Amino acid sequence: MPRIKTTPTVRFALWALRIYLLILLLLIGIKFVRVFSSSQKQDHAAAGAPATAALTTNQATVATKP
């Protein structure tokens, strides 16, 4: 397959796509870590931690109202 000379525009587009791909992979990795760290917190809460510790402030105020 013959090589084709790349123009500056094509070179810039390829760099932009590379950066975009790296950002997407970074965001997926962060989401992956956050999902597994939150599931471990839920496992600890189910293992005997107080139930109110797992509630957010909104849930805690709703849960305490009569």
**Sequential DSSP letters for 3-53:** --PPPHHHHHHHHHHHHHHHHHHHHHHHHHHHHHHHHHHHHHHHTTS-GGG
Q: Report pLDDT digits (tens) over 14-66.
A: 999 999 999 999 999 999 999 988 877 766 655 655 555 555 555 555 556 55
Domain around 25: 8-64
pLDDT at 63: 58
50 vs 10, higher pLDDT: 10
pLDDT at 48: 58
Note whether residue 51 is domain-resident: yes
Note whether residue 3 is domain-resident: no
Note whether residue 2 is domain-resident: no
pLDDT at 39: 78
Q: For the stretch 40-63, what's the b/e string if a residue is b when 16 or more beta carbons lie within 10 angstroms of its beta carbon?
A: eeeeeeeeeeeeeeeeeeeeeeee
Number of folded domains that form the chain: 1
pLDDT at 55: 53
